[in-house]
Amino acid sequence: MSECSHDCGSCGENCAQRDMHKAPHELSKIKKVIGVVSGKGGVGKSLTTAMLAVLAERNGFRAAILDADITGPSIPKMFGITEKATGTELGILPAMSKKGIEIMSMNLLLEEDTDPVIWRGPVIAGAVLQFWTDVIWNDVDYMFVDMPPGTGDVPLSIYQSIPLDGIVIVTTPQDLVSMIVLKAAHMAEKMNIPILGVVENMSYVQCPDCGKKIEIFGESKAAAMAEQIGCKNVARVPFDGALTKCADNGLIELFEGEYLDELFRAIE
């Protein structure tokens, strides 16, 4: 076998030397791992992650969320989790939502939810890896990883360390956002990770009187983006006051709407 002649830390060559995936905790049981990614923040990545986990639970699967957005964790608040993570001599135990979704997030370790995490990239990447290797995940069918935005050091470390079975891309209709999000899609392609679907958040507003869909950010670009990256599964999530209220009040497990149902069936 020829020796690797390139830098495995920054390339997508599918060679034996590149396999740097870490094993989860020896007591963990995880079947499928799905990353939820975007090229930038503020597009609804965490909301999409939470909704997909809730849909998995509603369909009879055991779901978990690994919140890899260390500096901007919002998953615990969406699920109304205020207690902190615990542990034993064996490892760290994730928090549990009301419906039984296992969750690990940086905010479960901080004294105050608003305490900032002022760390450099390698330290953040190390914390994410510990969520994978040191947390005891109990018989999980689908783990959803809320990825940090961008295509830099931390996402690269996650791609190389955690064996993702596929990713879901989250975007919004604006041209500028689509351009940046495509960078994340192309990064996944270079890392040989399948793209399972595209979610366009804030896609439209539906008139409560006539039902007309008003595209306030312009014409939807989700289908065109999916075609460009070779993905067939597209979901559009509108501005929905009830959905926002559920997320803000820690009641995301009670959300109503079929926005991501077809996407989840495709993932399943």
Binding residue ranges for ATP? 39-46
DSSP code per residue over 109-165: TSSSTT------HHHHHHHHHHHHHTB---SEEEEEEEPPSSSSHHHHHHHHHS--S
Q: How far, in Å, are 3, 4, 89, 156, 246 from residue 267 at the CA level?
A: 36, 34, 35, 23, 24
Q: Which residues are annotated as a binding site?
A: 39-46
Cβ neighbours of residue 187 closer than 8 Å, sequence gap 6 or more = 151, 155, 156, 159
